[in-house]
Chain A
Amino acid sequence: MGKLTDLKQAMGGIPDGALISLGGNTLNRAPMAAVMELARQGKRGLRLVKTAGGMDVDLLCLAGCVESVDAGFISCETEFGLCQNYRRAVQSGAVKAHEHACYTVISALRAASCGIPFMPVRGLKISDLVAVNDYFSPVTDPFTGETLNAVKAIRPDVAILHVQLADEDGNARIEGPVYEDALMARAAKEVILTAERIVGAGFFENAQDKAQIPHFLVRAVVHAPRGAAPGACPGCYGVNGEDIRAFQKLDGAEALTAWLQRRLP
């Protein structure tokens, strides 16, 4: 069954307030084309989940699309620096920052993928994060009595992942680092893929490197060449520093709208 659609349609199906996990890591293979389309469509109240976000989270904050961000780290790393739109939005109270330790995002997604309400973790022994966030809570091992911390499950409504190869049914192959993408695909209620290249039927059947994301988890597939730009996509392209800097200089939502219009796929 063909699931190929366009960005407008695929993002159009995501309601305001949706809980969305974004694939990739910082400026590596983030689903930027999809994120830009969410911003163009003026979504509101989105709740974002990712271990380490960068320009994707920053752009949606500038566009006013975001209610909360569950993440361990939000920055474009050292060369491109802080996500100033995210930072301002949290400081003004417009966006809630739910700080995790990257591993607790992974644990929350693992719990969701196992269909259980929480996951116990070690660590977090002495951290103010436990007291100020209601998604952490002490839990007692019923067998030994040891106290651990539980992390509440996070079951995203949708995982949006950018991949190098996908077929029309939604089988998808990530080349290079997978980050948390395969886990997100299993934790989320459904998956939307953007892909550098759409491969023909039978491609994966004849390959030794199978798809890490199977078709039955996927709702829609979008052909989006350069879909991680201006971030990097391994094997396809590196970062476009000029474009990242141009984005970082935008001084408000109106400037962003014009910038996004110039980047229509």
Chain B
Amino acid sequence: MIRPCDMMAVEMARLIRDGETVFHGVSSHLPLIAVLLAKATHAPHAVHLNIPGGVDPESPRLQAFTSAGDDLWETAAAQFPLMDVFDLSMRGGLDVAFLSGVQFDNLGGVNASVIGEYARPKVRLPGGAGSAVLIPTAKRAILWRTKHDRRTFTEKLDFVTARGNVSDIVTPLCSFTMCRGELILKSVHPTSSIEEVAENTGFPIRYLQLAATQPPTDEELRRLGEIDPQDLRSLEFR
């Protein structure tokens, strides 16, 4: 049985190309582990950037309570803290930013701010963190969300925290990709089906060529176990 957290970590890692500069922020163990996996497999020269500012931490001993802690600093050779990462993105030098949210529409819009009215919200969400500046300025914003239902993937956002260069969204059921300004289905994970994706998505599913997501290979799973022996990639599913 393929665990959704393993499928998502692997699928996110595969989106990283060798040599790219890649950033993830807080509450981001899945992309953190995906970056480490990509560097351990097909993208050894990808550059891992993060909030504490350790560039390419070497075999970090990950901590459960944070993805912005000193574990990502201790074994790094150089420092490049958050404000430097933002500046890099502003001048066009950041290739990939991993971000999330709670609502997504089929035009690449993200809501991480509020449900209801901004000034007096029904639900105050944690906030978009870097989204509003990174989604428009990073070359590709890759989004992930461990929940896939009709309230999450919706036609109408309560609030637009950001729009911009969203390139892909990875969920426990499938991977979406942006194609000519529209979010289309790229592949369905082996544990799901197109029917399940359609039932749980609040806008009509469209695709050009539908593929089955490649299941994690034995090598990828072995690497995941080495990188993340505490299984922090499943934190968001607990």
Residues of A within 8 A of B (CB): 25-28, 51-52, 71-80, 82-83, 86-87, 90-91, 93, 96-97, 99-104, 106, 121-129, 132, 176-180, 183, 232, 234-235, 238-239, 241
Q: Which of A26, A127, A177 is B53 in contact with, Cβ under 8 Å? A: A177
12 pairs, A vs B, C-beta closer than 8 Å: A73-B25, A75-B126, A106-B86, A123-B90, A126-B160, A126-B162, A128-B161, A177-B69, A178-B53, A179-B52, A232-B66, A241-B65
Given A179-B52, A180-B83, verify A28-B66 contact (CB < 8 Å): yes
Residues of B within 8 A of A (CB): 25-27, 29, 51-54, 63-70, 73-74, 81-83, 86, 89-90, 113, 118-124, 126-137, 159-164, 235-236
Chain B min CB distance to A73 (Å): 4
Cα–Cα distance between A87 and B161 once the two chains are bound (Å)? 18
Closest-by-CB residue of B relative to A132 is: B118
A183 to B84, CA, bound (A): 12
Q: B64–A123 contact, CB under 8 A? A: no
Q: Give the residues in chain A near B118, CB-CB below 8 Å.
A: 128, 132
A82 / chain B contacts, CB cutoff of 8 Å: 126
Nearest-neighbor residue (CB-CB) of B130 within chain A: A102
Residues of A within 8 A of B90 (CB): 103, 121-123
Residues of B within 8 A of A103 (CB): 83, 86, 90, 130, 133-134
Which of A91, A121, A127 meets B162, CB within 8 Å? A127
**A residues within 8 A CB of B129?**
52, 72-73, 101-102
How many Å lie between the Cα of A121 and that of B126 in the bound state?
22
Contact yes or no, B123 A129, CB < 8 A: no
B72 CB to closest chain A CB (Å) equals 8
Q: How far is the CB of A52 from chain B (nearest CB, A)?
A: 5
A79 to B236, CA, bound (A): 8
> Between A and B, how many residue pairs show CB distances below 8 Å?
176
| Inter-subunit contact B133/A124 (CB<8 Å) | yes
Cα–Cα, bound, A72→B125 (Å)? 11
Residue contact A77 to B52, C-beta cutoff 8 Å: no
How far is it, in angstroms, between the C-alpha of A234 and the C-alpha of B29 when the chains are bound? 19
Which 8 pairs between the two chains have the least Cβ-Cβ distance?
A: A123-B133, A177-B52, A101-B132, A234-B70, A75-B126, A126-B163, A90-B124, A73-B129
Question: Which residue of the partner chain A has the closest CB to B71?
Answer: A234
Q: A235 contacts which chain B residues (CB < 8 A)?
A: 70
Report the minimum CB–CB distance from B63 to chain A (whole Å): 7
Quote the shortest CB–CB distance from B23 to chain A (angstroms): 12
How many Å from the CB of B51 to the closest CB on chain A?
A: 6
Q: In the complex the two chains form, what is the Cα distance from A79 to B234 in whole Å?
A: 11
Contacts of B81 in A (CB 8 A): 177-179
Partner of B26, one of A77, A90, A91, A126: A77
Contacts of B26 in A (CB 8 A): 25-26, 52, 73, 75, 77
Known contacts A28-B68, A91-B121, A234-B70; is-contact A99 B128 (Cβ 8 Å): yes
In the assembled complex, how far is the CB of residue A191 from the closest CB belonging to chain B, in whole angstroms? 18
Question: CA A102 – CA B64 in complex, angstroms?
Answer: 22
- Rounded to whole angstroms, the CA-CA distance of A132 and B25 in the bound complex is 25
Residues of B within 8 A of A99 (CB): 113, 127-128
Chain A contacts for B133, CB-based, 8 A: 101, 103-104, 121-124
* Most chain B beta-carbon neighbours within 10 Å: one of A82, A102, A129, A179: A102
Contact assessment for A106 and B160 in the assembled complex, using a CB-CB cutoff below 8 Å: no
Cβ contact within 8 Å between B161 and A129: yes
Q: Are A239 and B53 in contact (CB under 8 A)?
A: no
Cα A176 to Cα B65 in complex, Å, equals: 17
Contact yes or no, B136 A102, CB < 8 A:
no
Partner of A232, one of B25, B69, B74, B130: B69
A79 vs B26: C-alpha distance when bound (angstroms) = 11
Q: How far is the CA of A36 from the CA of B126 in the complex (A)?
A: 22
Given the complex of chains A and B, what is the CA–CA distance between A72 and B113 in angstroms? Answer: 10
Complex-state Cα separation, A129 to B27, whole angstroms: 22
Flag if B128 contacts A176 (CB, 8 Å). Answer: no
The listed residue with most A CB atoms (<10 A of its CB), out of B69, B119, B160, is: B69
B-chain residues with CB within 8 Å of residue A239 when the two chains form the complex: 65
Are A77 and B67 in contact, CB atoms less than 8 angstroms apart?
yes
Q: CA A30 – CA B179 in complex, angstroms? A: 42
